[in-house]
A and B are shown apart, each in its own frame.
Chain A
């Protein structure tokens, strides 16, 4: 069974969300994921990392976000961790249209839930939040290697 593990640690800067997505793209290309699956993986990771920066760290730079991607067989596990303020009420935070920022639609968790098979959030006030997502993938049927 094929296994692979990648870890990316970066400063809580908005421009680093793109770098997190680039890692997702590279992993997706390596696994030959269909385009829709790759796009959905990118959105899920983008949302988790954005939440860490916007909510976990209240947009303050000089904090650290960790993204880990584990591939075991055809299951991808994504872990996004911050050591920020934590989430007081996780079920409420995961509701659509709930958001601590009125400009946002509270869709981050909705996208993560829609695009991944499992979503687990562990959080402790003042200690940080860990988002764990998994998805079983099937490579594109038209591989031409």
Chain B
């Protein structure tokens, strides 16, 4: 996983399969940067993610709530079509901003 921090924005380039086996690690990683580095915008780039289920969605929603309380936001970037389909059923695109190549798509 690659990460990039600039101007209170954390960009995480996630890859592989996101499920209950790595959801807690993802949560800890993001929360640590929100708490210690005063990150207020988190961008999760899902272009290399091949699978996602509700464990990872719970982490995303939890970070959305945490950042919202701090005046921040979370964005999902470059979700592949099959990942976007799963996220759509969860209703996440109605809550969280989705971007593709830097442009808003929802």
Contact = CB atoms under 8 A, between A and B. Distances in A.
A53 B85 CA distance: 25
A103 B19 contact: no
A107 B27 CA distance: 18
A65 to B, nearest CB: 12
Nearest to A99: B58
Contact of B53 (A46, A99, A101): A46
Given A46-B19, A114-B89, A104 B27 contact: no
Contacts of A110: 54, 89-90
A20 to B, nearest CB: 10
B62 A17 contact: no
Tier of interface size on chain B = 10 to 19
A90 interface: no
Given A50-B53, A104-B54, A107-B57, A35 B21 contact: no
A8 to B, nearest CB: 16
A105 to B, nearest CB: 5
Contacts of B82: 35-36, 39
A108 B27 contact: no
A18 B19 contact: yes
Contacts of A99: 58
Given A103-B59, A105-B90, A110-B90, A15 B21 contact: yes
A121 to B, nearest CB: 16
Interface string A98-138: 01011111111011001000000000000000000000000
For the complex of A and B, list the 9 residue pairs with the smallest distance between their C-beta atoms, beginning with the closest.
Answer: A14-B21, A107-B54, A104-B58, A46-B53, A50-B20, A103-B58, A103-B62, A14-B20, A108-B54
Given A21-B19, A46-B19, 9 more contacts: A17-B19, A17-B20, A18-B17, A21-B17, A39-B51, A50-B54, A54-B55, A103-B27, A114-B89
